[in-house]
């Protein structure tokens, strides 16, 4: 049996065990996600079409990997205007494996893998009483996880003191990109102009901007920092 699904504004023809790359889905590796927008399903020549979606039809998929697509460069040049603009984009992708095609409101047979916290709650009370040291470690574990989360949420750079610059003056940086850069500690033209290649690689890894795009912003920032 096959199905035609819609996700991320695109349509895909899928069958069980198909490996598929779709636009990013907020889920962890191993989680089961449901795609409820099924445009059609069938087997052989017998095909059922929805209007626009088939009622009660759902496709479940297991998240295999979270990653990024290759960088796409958009270059624009105006003839005799001495105007050039170069913008890069890397689409966030999720690799999924199609698990089931469900019809008539059927529920999925496969569920997401149990999380470690759920297993800890299901442990017998007798074992917990017999090992007080393990309880102390278990209580300390959430604190370590909280610290790790705080460290992961820390900005990539330390913002300099003083008034921030309007980064939207740089061609290619809009309000959303400027906000993302400010949240990561980049607030001035001078700071952007002094980015080393290792800093560019760090931004490329942790933010949705390509290395070529950041280098273009750096060259523009050098000119603006002189003013």
Instruction: Determine the Cα angle at 188 with ends 207 and 86, to 5°.
Output: 55
Domain ends where: 59, 78, 102?
102
Kindly state whether residue 152 falls inside one of the protein's structural domains: no
Kindly state whether residue 72 falls inside one of the protein's structural domains: yes
Please check whether residue 3 is in contact with residue 57, taking contact to mean a CB–CB distance below 8 angstroms. yes
Q: What is the pLDDT of residues 75-129, one digit of tens each?
A: 888 888 788 888 888 889 999 999 889 888 888 876 654 444 444 444 455 454 5
Kindly state whether residue 123 falls inside one of the protein's structural domains: no
Kindly state whether residue 173 falls inside one of the protein's structural domains: yes
What does pTM read for this prediction?
Answer: 0.44
Strand 92-102: give its sheet, edge to edge: 19-23, 92-102, 58-68, 32-35
Q: What is the pLDDT of residues 193-223, one digit of tens each?
A: 989 999 988 888 888 888 888 899 899 999 8
Kindly state whether residue 179 falls inside one of the protein's structural domains: yes
Band (pLDDT 50/70/90 cuts) for residue 177 is confident
Kindly state whether residue 124 falls inside one of the protein's structural domains: no
- The domain containing residue 211 runs over which residues? 167-226
Band (pLDDT 50/70/90 cuts) for residue 163 is confident
Kindly state whether residue 156 falls inside one of the protein's structural domains: no
Nearest to 65 by CA among 98, 22, 94, 91: 94
Domain ends where: 51, 76, 102?
102
Please check whether residue 14 is in contact with residue 3, taking contact to mean a CB–CB distance below 8 angstroms. yes
Q: What total number of domains does the chain contain?
A: 2
- Examine the pLDDT at 175 and tell me if it is beyond 60: yes
Give me the pLDDT at residue 156, please: 85
Q: What is the mean pLDDT of the chain?
A: 81
Give me the pLDDT at residue 15, please: 92
Domain ends where: 45, 73, 102?
102
Kindly state whether residue 65 falls inside one of the protein's structural domains: yes
The reply to whether 98 and 174 lie within a common domain is no
């Amino acid at each position: 049996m096959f199905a035609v699904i819609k996700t991320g504004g695109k349509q895909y023809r899928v069958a069980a065990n198909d490996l598929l790359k779709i636009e990013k889905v907020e889920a962890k590796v191993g989680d089961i996600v449901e795609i409820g927008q099924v445009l059609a399903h069938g087997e052989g020549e017998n095909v059922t079409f929805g209007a626009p979606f088939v009622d009660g039809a759902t496709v479940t998929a297991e998240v295999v990997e979270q990653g990024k697509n290759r960088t796409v460069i958009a270059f624009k040049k105006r003839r005799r205007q001495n105007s050039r603009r170069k913008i890069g984009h890397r689409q966030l992708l999720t690799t999924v494996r199609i698990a089931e095609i469900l019809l008539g409101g059927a529920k999925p047979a496969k569920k997401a893998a149990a999380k470690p916290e759920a297993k800890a709650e299901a442990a017998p009370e007798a074992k917990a009483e017999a090992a007080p040291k393990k309880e102390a470690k278990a209580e300390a574990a959430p604190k370590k996880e909280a610290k790790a989360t705080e460290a992961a949420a820390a900005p990539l750079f330390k913002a300099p003191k003083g008034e921030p610059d309007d980064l939207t003056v740089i061609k290619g940086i809009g309000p959303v990109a400027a906000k993302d850069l400010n949240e990561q500690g980049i607030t001035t033209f001078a700071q952007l102009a002094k980015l080393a290649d290792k800093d560019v690689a760090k931004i490329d890894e942790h933010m949705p901007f390509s290395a070529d795009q950041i280098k273009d912003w750096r060259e523009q920032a050098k000119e603006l920092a002189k003013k």
